[in-house]
Amino acid sequence: MTPLHEWTPTPEKAIALQRELAPRIEREDRLAPVRHIAGVDIGFEQSGEITRAAVVVLAWPGDPRVGFEVVEQVVHREPTRMPYLPGLLSFREIPAALAAFDQLATRPELVMVDGQGIAHPRRLGVASHLGLWLDLPTIGVAKSRLCGVHDEVPEARGEWTPLRHRGETIGAVLRSRVGVKPVFVSLGHRISLATSLDWVVQCLGRTKLPEPTRLADRLASRRGPMPRPAD
DNA sequence: GCGACAG
DNA sequence: ATCTTGTCGC
């Protein structure tokens, strides 16, 4: 059987594996009714020797007055296996992410990942790779661009413009918050771009990042909870 | 050949 | 990603 993932392949093997896996990505909706949404992010400690994977599971729908309910959260630490190489991020982050998912009691119906989905040179960013491995619908929400070109993004919250690469629309550049740099949304697996955008916007608080990714980001980088503004 | 380059 | 002080604004 073809491995969906190798622990520490050479860059050449990693690229070959990406080319083999990319055609397996499903770009249309195949989701179960969503009751839980997971957010995933990876952080590093001190000199980068230790990798920290964080997964946060939120109940859907949530109470808009208090934000989404955190059903479960897991942090997994392990030695870092690979350096960061543009385009090969998933091989560095996925092993830790999978270990964190293994500790989860809940099986989410939708996963948001900090990073690109198919908005990748070979259409297999970390969100797509993880979606294949987990066989779950995933969405990539990145804070910056890996590849592709786009027009200026309208200033209004919720507005977006297509991200294109080699004549293909690979994602969307979304104004998640007024006056802040936009986020890069792309489908990861088993979901369309339109539906991905819909979920990201629905999970938006007053911050740049949607709640699932924002909370996972905080956990992964060991920043404590932010004080909530008084009512 | 010269830049660009998720986290 | 991480390191790292102050500063601006609600």
Distance (Å, whole) CA A91 – CA A115: 13
**Predicted pLDDT at A6:** 58
Distance in angstroms: CA A47, C1' B7: 15
Q: Give the model confidence (pLDDT) of A67-123 as tens digits.
A: 899 999 999 999 999 999 999 999 999 999 999 999 999 999 999 999 999 999 999
**Predicted pLDDT at A62:** 83
Which nucleotide is nearest to A44 if distance is taken from CA to C1'? C1
Q: Give the model confidence (pLDDT) of A164-221 as tens digits.
A: 999 999 999 999 999 999 999 999 999 999 999 999 999 999 999 999 999 999 999 9
**Predicted pLDDT at A84:** 95
Footprint of strand B on the protein (CB under 7 A): A 41-42, 84, 86-90, 93, 114-116, 120, 125-127, 140, 142-147
Positions of strand B less than 7 angstroms from a protein CB: 5-7
**Predicted pLDDT at A197:** 98
Distance in angstroms: CA A89, C1' B3: 20
List the CATH code of the domain at A36-148+159-220: 3.30.2170.10
The neighbour count for residue A44, using CB atoms within 10 Å, is 16
Q: Answer whether A67's CB lies under 8 Å from A205's CB.
A: yes
Both tokens of A222, joined, read: 């060991």
Q: Give the model confidence (pLDDT) of A36-50 as tens digits.
A: 999 999 999 988 999
Q: Which residues of A63-79 are buried (b: 16+ CB within 10 A; e: fewer)?
A: eeeeebeebbbbbbeee
CA triple A12-A14-A20, angle to 5 deg? 105
Q: Which of A26, A52, A58, A25 is nearest to A39 (CA)?
A: A58
* Structural domain spans, chain A: 36-148+159-220
Positions of strand C less than 7 angstroms from a protein CB: 1-3
